[in-house]
Structure 1
């Protein structure tokens, strides 16, 4: 392929360069032809004056130099005049070697760990992510995209057995949790913060209210009456005892509730702390808690609750993905926007994210650089060399044509110098 055929499909810039290449080629050919004409004319006029000998020497050497450099430039791309001359069409003949060396060069000099890491650390990936997420439209598009994927992901989770596997793993992890230390620690924090006193006040208030209920009073009265001797029943001692019991209890409850320093509160503290200590140390408590945990996890109601939660979540996601409900999409988009704003405001987090991405990409490139090298080499080997040569020639051919100009000039000067030396030697 020559520059003319290439210019038929190249971009406007390449077409202009192809036109300039044709112009320079024409000038170079004209210079070569001019040197040849001057040489012939000088040889013819040589008998008339010795100066034409110098002109002929210059033109002769310039013609030879121009021809030699024309041959060198043409041989780089194709066979001169189509002749099968050895060591011509160099680029075509060495396509595979050029491909392998190009891939090797890129692997060694462009994909080495140090320069790759240095370049990656110059890129602020986190800021790009923050700016991208901060755009409401992009975040909304991302939310809708994720929602379209979620129903398929949930269906795949069910059909692939992943749901069952996850459920079993969760149940196994829950079974392995030792609840006694957790419960003890929670209760210690509850007591340390003084919140147990509020619980005591609520219990006392509930008991006070229960003692004033007619039904409760009737039950207590009947119980007292059943325990009293027959003689005392005749004197309605049960009513008297009930009244005294209720009055004493309610007075006690009121005293405890109104006095933060009441001794009963200290007894309540010691009772709870003693229970926490026993919960942490006595195996019997641990066993009972573990049994309660196993019974709770084995309840069919818990499995049914899990299925209902899953089905409701799937139904809600499907409605959101179909556009029937925009609540989840709107909320998810707002989450992305807020995440972008938070990331933009947190320089430390951005630095950590950039460092992590740089490490991941550096490792990935280090693992795949040989594959990149092979890919580049295979691509170059598969190129249409005629088209490639057309691209190279159009882009650098103009400069190569100046080699012909220089060859004619340097050759002419060298020939002139040699002829001058020869002329001077003849004079001696």
Structure 2
């Protein structure tokens, strides 16, 4: 397409030279001559405009040319700010999480796990334990057990444990499915906000780009580039962006273990969960099933309790799937947790984009953007040549009959 646009410009120059000596032969040659002359002007002007976006025309350092290479770092920062302001914000994440039913998904998982459970309790404690369990008031016993577990849970620092688990998961590469899920979520978020992306790019385009009609194409190129980048990160385990995300997860693991502010927030969320009435009601139901299961097992040590536990898991999963109040509490907890992570670590996540683009050399940035826009750049030159020629014909006609 670049060759085609250049040959068209050369053809207009040749036509201009040929018709120069035929102007007196017939008035029609004047229109052809005017078309060729204006087409050359339009083609050269659009060639200059297109070239000035990516490099200095003819290698001459004319001011306000090579716009993209000269502003590479600013473009990187703008992309990072755009992502931070429009995607990784508590409002956007909360809205996206509000559309997801985490509790129902957990219920589906527990129900499947419960239906396939094969665990067995093979030890019994004797008839004395049975009598003890049957003689105690079930409600009081359940409340006492719950209170004891709550006291023990309050003493446990959950944040360091979570940090160690995350650190171990990263060491064993078990965190990669989570990163893949985040990448897919980012792709869905970008797909849902394509119009906003185009508006943002067009609003930030300078007058030269808008005059050349490139703002829309550049917006499409930015979207294509982001989709391509997400796809590359998804399929390439060694992609720099993926490594940056892993560094962010490693920092989160360290903060959970050593940062007092992070640990305090996790402890506050844990205490809120323990004090939730829905959790208390759920625990009482679980406790009753556990109590009856223990009694049955003690009386019949050879009986498999795997079915009981599987049934309990299935019932718990069914409760999560069908209880709107419990779903509301669990989903709210999950939403607050993820919003807190985004609010605290959003800057580091979007910083991956800025750091990566800044790390590219100017030729890489130019090549990727120019390759993404592709044929449309040369169609701008072709259209400029043809439109310029038509304008030249109109001007010639007007001047001839005035």
What TM-score, normalized by structure 2, do the two folds share? Answer: 0.48
